[in-house]
């Protein structure tokens, strides 16, 4: 210390230069905070992982936000037009604004019902904002420029804008608190020291420590990625000005006391630092240990408070180097204009409480345990993450959110997004079935309003894509098919009977007879030719010729009658044949249709077995599947190619009939002409030669027709023979149809069991259709390995109910994917509710773990300072008791009386750190003074120490409590709750735990042998 006093000017110069440089070149942490935001979670948190997966899936970066247009009466048509023009101005400036994926009721009419409230007062426009490194206020100004002519109230809301307004409110609250803190400390110190110099010196020296520590912290934040939050600056101000002022009070009171003993300024400084300085060093060490332990925290928010370690180190360095310079330069004038040479007055309050506690030690301990025990037993940790609720309607983003919540539902403004990432494509029935089951599981949760997914794009099931609907349709189709098969079976039975009774052998006889007729006609034509020659040579045989001609005429008449009968028989046979052809072709076509239907049923049965594995062991299922396989096997030969061959034969027979009928008609015409020619011969033999020539010509035609007719009859006989073979198989077909009908009946009965089965199954053609592609593009990534679900919750996204719903959704997804084709898929939920859920888990784990770590560190420091195990244990217990009692009272105020859903998320942890760190300070103040009275009995020493140090501790508590009280006018619920909790903890420490509980335990332990609280062996050490 002597060297420090001697080199004080150099030290002062160094402090001055360092402070100026760090202040001038200090980055603005508020700007950094606006640009970077505060990250409440680690990169391995589920919601952060989900956001990173979602970024891979989305083609554009950014977060979803809203523009809310509002007219409390109703948006008029003119206002609607103005809003449309404003929205169009947004779209035209989308690149400038950094927005994409705009959804509005003007450009997307199908979304109109979900974007305009039912009462017509509110209209939403959704967009994705890529904030980048831009300041949120600059973004808001750019939007306002485009929306200035909207004609109605409008608000920008969503995650980015709510966070921006929350940061703005926090920064404004911190700045207001800083000013109030300085003014409060100045007033209190003036009243305490009756001096204007002492408060200024104290504030200036602490301000130097604050400026240098903030300069270093800001550089680390800007250059090294040091975590930063809205609490970084406020904690630095509160802790440094709070405990810094406390330490200065202790130092200045001791310095004043030493001066009153007649010591010189240098000796008084040295003596002050040997006593109070050691106390301050140990006290700052506990603060550093408490805050440095935050390095083990999971939450970046908690880690950001490590900056207090930098502040504490700079404060200790300032107290050891710069404060002695001020003491040396000002000397007694540091207390001007006060003439009081004595140090701090003794505290009668602490003296009285400690005297009672040492006399009634058991009663005091039991009383303390009872009071603290009640608060511990009934303590409940209820955290509130509702930033919107903290802001109220004072900020545009929160007001816009509240309007949306009122007119659309609380979850509509900021929905959650579930993402599932698989190593393989998801656009197949197996994966889609799992996705749909997960969708249904989530929809069944009470806190969920709506779920949209790739299988349910509009938030509801598409009936045609489920086995229940498909099975009902199939069952109805099977009934119709079964009825048709029964009719076909009956028809085939009749057809087979008709075909079996038909005698196609007569067609062969007809062919033989036609051949004989052909020969006769040919002979007749030859005879007539000779006749013609005879007529040309002689006229004496005219009479004989006339008689012969009459005989020929008679034969021709009989031949014509025979041809007519033959033609009639052919026509009748052809008509029956055509009717039979229609029946067999319709039956064969039906069989091919049945075969196709059975093939589809076989695929559906296989899909049913895969989607409902338990059904594979069902006897009915196995019987149905076996029946389908058997039926398909029996129809294996029934192919389109076979039908074509059969139809070819049928067509050939039909052609034979047609040709025979044509030839018969021609022969009939020829015979008619032949008869006419003979009459001409008969009427005039003179013209006989010409008539017979005509007859011969016609007879040749008849012979030619008979020749063709014979060929047609032979072809007909061949076709009918083949068709007759088909007829012989009709009995087998009829039997097979009966089996098919029976099998279809069994299948229908079995499928009826699945009429309520909501298993998703999309036919392959539907899966590959253009109609389904928009859903795939909207809810899946380009490579189809990532899918998402949009989940709208019923509750406020920041509420405890929403957090519980997110936990249920996580459980539902985990169980829904387990044991499926997506069991190895990664998943996560992004959005405010998921972030809040993860924060709740992390902060709860951190609080429980950090309490243990901090208490272990504090206990070790206490052991080092006090060198008494049990006293260190009792002090640690008193700190824990003060914390639980303070949080219990704070919860009673804010949750019980004011009906908040919980205390702000960061309040329990930071109030614990502050109460423990400062409580250890005050405990060390007391115990260091206690150790100075080593020549006295412990009971007497603790009472005297309490009287002497009580005033300092109470003054320090007033300073620190007042410092935290300056947070209340900030307008931030978080800061108000933190202030109330810390102030309550200080009151409990200063009036219960330190003057009542701790002295009582010291008194009780002093009665035990080797208790470790005897002051005689440590008194000398305390005076060194």
pTM, rounded to two decimals: 0.69
Q: Which of the four pLDDT bands, split at 50, 70 and 90, describes residue 812?
A: very high
- pLDDT at residue 230 greater than cutoff 90: no
- pLDDT at residue 431 greater than cutoff 70: yes
- pLDDT at residue 35 greater than cutoff 70: yes
Q: Which of 534, 438, 514 is nearest to 704 (CA)?
A: 514
What pLDDT was estimated at residue 388?
78
Structure-model confidence comparison of residues 536 and 8, the more confident one: 8
The 10s digit of each residue's pLDDT in 850-905 is 888 889 988 988 888 888 888 899 999 999 999 999 999 999 999 889 888 888 88
Neighbour-count burial of 96, counting CB atoms closer than 10 A to its CB (0-12 exposed, 13-18 middle, 19+ buried): exposed
The 10s digit of each residue's pLDDT in 438-450 is 999 999 999 999 9
Assigned CATH topology for domain 415-466+761-831: Alpha-Beta Plaits (3.30.70)
- pLDDT at residue 1016 greater than cutoff 50: no
Alpha helices in 225-264 (DSSP H): 230-260
Tokens coding 682: 């008969």
Contacts 24+ apart (CB under 8 A), 567-576: 567/661, 567/664, 567/665, 567/668, 569/510, 570/657, 570/660, 570/661, 570/664, 571/661, 573/657, 574/654, 574/657, 574/658, 574/661
Strand ordering across the sheet containing 448-452? 448-452, 786-793, 416-421, 826-830
- pLDDT at residue 778 greater than cutoff 90: no
Neighbour-count burial of 50, counting CB atoms closer than 10 A to its CB (0-12 exposed, 13-18 middle, 19+ buried): buried
The 10s digit of each residue's pLDDT in 576-620 is 556 555 555 555 666 666 666 667 667 666 766 665 566 667 666
The strand pairing partners of 448, in sequence order, are 793
The 3-class secondary structure across 609-650, one letter per residue, is: HHHCHHHHHCHHHHHHHHHHHHHHHHCCCCCHHHHHHHHHHH
Q: Which of the four pLDDT bands, split at 50, 70 and 90, describes residue 1024?
A: very low
What pLDDT was estimated at residue 245?
86
Q: Which of 107, 101, 65, 72 is nearest to 86 (CA)?
A: 107
What pLDDT was estimated at residue 176?
84
Q: Which of the four pLDDT bands, split at 50, 70 and 90, describes residue 995?
A: very high
- pLDDT at residue 539 greater than cutoff 50: no
Asked if the peptide bond before residue 589 counts as cis, ω within 30 degrees of 0, the response is: no
CA distance 312 to 290: 11
* Percentage above 70 pLDDT, the chain: 68
Assigned CATH topology for domain 346-377+841-1024: Multidrug efflux transporter AcrB transmembrane fold (1.20.1640)
- CATH classification (class only), 37-166: alpha beta
What pLDDT was estimated at residue 311?
92
The 10s digit of each residue's pLDDT in 714-770 is 665 565 555 555 555 555 555 555 555 565 555 555 555 555 455 676 777 777 778
467-752 matches 37-166 in CATH topology: no
What pLDDT was estimated at residue 814?
92
CA distance 567 to 51: 88
Half-sphere exposure of 728 (CA within 13 A, CB side): 6
Specify the CATH architecture of the domain 467-752: Up-down Bundle (1.20)
- pLDDT at residue 505 greater than cutoff 60: no
Average pLDDT of 377-386?
80
What pLDDT was estimated at residue 180?
87
What pLDDT was estimated at residue 67?
94
User: Which of 566-575, 858-867, 910-919 is predicted with the least confidence, judged by mean pLDDT?
Assistant: 566-575
Listed by start position, the domains of the chain span: 37-166, 346-377+841-1024, 415-466+761-831, 467-752
User: Which of 294-308, 728-742, 952-966 is predicted with the least confidence, judged by mean pLDDT?
Assistant: 728-742
- pLDDT at residue 211 greater than cutoff 90: yes
Over its C-alpha atoms, the chain yields an Rg (Å, rounded) of 53
> Which of 120-124, 231-235, 566-570, 697-701 ranks highest by mean pLDDT?
120-124
Q: Which of the four pLDDT bands, split at 50, 70 and 90, describes residue 936?
A: confident
What pLDDT was estimated at residue 987?
94
Q: Apex CA 635: angle with CA 632 and CA 640, to 5°? A: 120
The 10s digit of each residue's pLDDT in 44-61 is 788 888 888 888 887 667
What pLDDT was estimated at residue 486?
60
What pLDDT was estimated at residue 937?
86
The 10s digit of each residue's pLDDT in 975-991 is 899 999 999 999 999 99
Average pLDDT of 901-914?
86
Q: Which residue has the tokens 């309050």?
A: 349
CA distance 226 to 220: 5
What pLDDT was estimated at residue 707?
67
Average pLDDT of 243-260?
85
- pLDDT at residue 660 greater than cutoff 80: no
What pLDDT was estimated at residue 708?
63
CA distance 867 to 637: 100
Q: Which of the four pLDDT bands, split at 50, 70 and 90, describes residue 1022?
A: very low
- pLDDT at residue 822 greater than cutoff 80: yes
What pLDDT was estimated at residue 992?
92
- pLDDT at residue 666 greater than cutoff 80: no
- pLDDT at residue 806 greater than cutoff 80: yes
For residue 750, give Cα distances in angstroms to 44, 314, 621, 691, 747. 49, 82, 7, 83, 5
The strand pairing partners of 896, in sequence order, are none
Q: Which of the four pLDDT bands, split at 50, 70 and 90, describes residue 1017?
A: very low
Structure-model confidence comparison of residues 1005 and 584, the more confident one: 1005
Q: Which of 297, 181, 289, 284 is nearest to 235 (CA)?
A: 181
Structure-model confidence comparison of residues 321 and 731, the more confident one: 321
Q: Checking DSSP bridges between strand 122-129 and strand 63-70, what pairing results, if any?
A: antiparallel
- pLDDT at residue 215 greater than cutoff 90: yes
What pLDDT was estimated at residue 736?
54
Average pLDDT value over all residues in the chain:
78
User: Which of 75-84, 674-683, 727-736 is predicted with the least confidence, judged by mean pLDDT?
Assistant: 727-736
């Amino acid at each position: 210390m002597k060297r420090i006093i001697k080199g004080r000017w150099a030290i002062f110069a160094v402090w001055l230069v360092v402070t100026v440089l760090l202040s001038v070149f200090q980055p603005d942490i508020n700007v950094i905070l606006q640009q970077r935001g505060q990250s409440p979670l680690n990169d391995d948190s589920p919601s952060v992982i989900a956001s990173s997966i979602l970024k891979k899936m989305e083609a554009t970066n950014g977060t979803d936000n809203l523009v809310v247009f509002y007219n409390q009466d109703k948006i008029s048509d003119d206002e609607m037009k103005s809003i449309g023009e404003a929205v169009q101005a947004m779209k035209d400036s989308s690149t400038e604004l950094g927005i994409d994926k705009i959804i509005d009721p003007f450009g997307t009419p199908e979304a109109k019902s979900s974007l305009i409230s039912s009462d017509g007062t509110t209209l939403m426009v959704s967009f994705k904002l890529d904030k980048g490194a831009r300041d949120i206020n600059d973004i808001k100004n750019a939007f306002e420029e485009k929306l200035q002519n909207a004609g109605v109230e409008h608000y920008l809301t969503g995650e980015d804008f709510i966070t921006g307004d929350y940061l703005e409110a926090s920064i404004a609250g911190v700045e207001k608190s800083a000013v109030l803190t300085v003014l409060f400390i100045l007033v209190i110190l003036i009243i305490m020291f009756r001096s204007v110099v002492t408060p200024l010196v104290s504030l200036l020296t602490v301000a130097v420590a604050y400026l240098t520590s903030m300069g270093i912290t800001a550089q680390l934040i800007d250059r090294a990625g040091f975590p930063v939050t809205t609490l970084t600056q406020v904690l630095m101000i509160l802790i440094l000005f709070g405990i810094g002022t406390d330490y200065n009070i202790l130092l200045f009171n001791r310095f004043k006391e030493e001066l009153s003993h007649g010591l010189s300024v240098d000796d008084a400084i040295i003596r002050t630092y040997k006593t109070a300085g050691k106390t301050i060093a140990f006290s700052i060490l506990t603060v550093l240990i408490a805050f440095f332990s935050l390095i083990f925290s999971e939450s970046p928010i908690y880690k950001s408070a490590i900056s207090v370690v930098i502040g504490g180190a700079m404060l200790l360095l300032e107290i050891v180097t710069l404060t002695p310079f001020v003491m040396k330069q000002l000397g007694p004038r540091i207390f001007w204009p006060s003439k009081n040479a004595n140090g701090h007055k003794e505290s009668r309050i602490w003296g009285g409480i400690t005297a009672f506690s040492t006399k009634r030690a058991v009663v005091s301990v039991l009383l303390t345990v009872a009071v603290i025990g009640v608060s511990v037993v009934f303590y409940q940790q209820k955290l509130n993450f509702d930033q919107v609720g903290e802001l109220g309607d004072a900020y545009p983003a929160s007001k816009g959110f509240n309007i949306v919540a009122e007119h659309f539902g609380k979850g509509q403004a900021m929905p959650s997004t579930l993402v599932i990432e698989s190593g393989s494509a998801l656009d197949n029935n197996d994966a889609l079935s799992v996705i749909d089951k997960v969708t249904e599981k989530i929809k069944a949760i009470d806190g969920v309003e709506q779920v949209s997914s790739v299988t349910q794009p509009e938030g509801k099931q598409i009936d045609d894509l489920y086995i229940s609907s498909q099975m009902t349709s199939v069952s109805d189709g099977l009934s119709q098919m079964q009825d048709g098969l029964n009719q076909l079976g009956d028809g085939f039975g009749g057809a087979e009977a008709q075909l079996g009774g038909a005698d196609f052998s007569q067609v062969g006889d007809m062919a033989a007879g036609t051949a004989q007729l052909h020969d006769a006609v040919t002979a007749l034509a030859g005879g007539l030719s000779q006749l013609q020659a005879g007529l040309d040579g002689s006229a004496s045989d005219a009479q004989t010729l006339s008689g012969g001609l009459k005989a020929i005429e008679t034969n021709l008449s009989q031949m014509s009658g025979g041809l007519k009968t033959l033609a009639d028989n052919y026509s009748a046979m052809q008509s029956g044949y055509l009717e039979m052809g229609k029946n067999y072709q319709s039956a064969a076509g039906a069989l091919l249709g049945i075969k196709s239907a059975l093939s589809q049923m076989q695929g559906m049965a296989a899909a049913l077995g895969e989607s409902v594995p338990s059904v594979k062991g069902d006897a009915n299922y196995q019987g149905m599947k076996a029946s389908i396989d058997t039926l398909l096997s029996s129809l294996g030969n029934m192919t389109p190619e076979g039908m074509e061959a059969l139809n070819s034969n049928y067509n050939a027979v039909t052609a034979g009939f047609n040709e025979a009928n044509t030839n018969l008609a021609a022969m009939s015409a020829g015979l008619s002409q032949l008869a006419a020619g003979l009459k001409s011969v008969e009427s005039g033999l003179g013209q006989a030669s010409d008539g017979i020539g005509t007859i011969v010509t016609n007879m040749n035609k008849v012979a030619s027709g008979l020749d063709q007719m014979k060929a047609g009859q032979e072809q007909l006989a061949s076709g009918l023979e083949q068709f007759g073979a088909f007829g012989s198989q009709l009995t087998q077909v009829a039997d097979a149809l009966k089996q098919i009908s029976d099998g279809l009946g069994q299948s229908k009965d079995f499928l009826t069991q699945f009429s309520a089965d909501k298993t998703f199954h999309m036919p392959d053609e539907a899966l590959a259709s253009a109609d389904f592609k928009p859903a795939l593009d909207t809810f899946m990534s380009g490579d189809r390995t990532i899918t998402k679900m949009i989940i709208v919750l019923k509750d406020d996204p920041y509420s405890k109910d929403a957090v519980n719903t997110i936990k249920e959704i996580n459980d539902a997804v985990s169980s829904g994917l387990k044991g499926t084709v997506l069991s190895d898929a990664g998943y996560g939920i992004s959005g405010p509710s998921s972030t809040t859920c993860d924060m709740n888990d992390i902060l709860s784990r951190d609080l429980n773990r950090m309490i243990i770590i901090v208490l272990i560190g504090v206990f070790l420091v206490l052991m080092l300072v006090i060198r008494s195990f049990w006293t260190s244990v009792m002090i640690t217990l008193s700190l824990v008791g003060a914390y639980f009692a303070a949080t219990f009272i704070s919860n009673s105020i804010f949750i019980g009386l004011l009906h908040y859903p919980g205390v702000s998320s960061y309040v329990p942890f930071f109030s614990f750190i502050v109460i423990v760190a400062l409580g250890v300070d005050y405990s060390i103040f007391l115990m260091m003074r206690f150790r100075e009275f080593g020549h006295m009995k412990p009971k007497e020493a603790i009472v005297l120490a309490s009287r002497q140090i009580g005033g300092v501790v109470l003054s320090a508590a007033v300073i620190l409590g007042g410092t935290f009280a300056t947070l209340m006018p900030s307008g931030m619920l978080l800061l108000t709750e933190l202030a109330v909790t810390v102030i309550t903890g200080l009151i409990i420490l200063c009036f219960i735990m330190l003057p009542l509980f701790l002295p009582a335990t010291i008194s009780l332990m002093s009665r035990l042998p080797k208790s470790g609280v005897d002051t005689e062996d440590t008194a000398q050490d305390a005076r060194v």
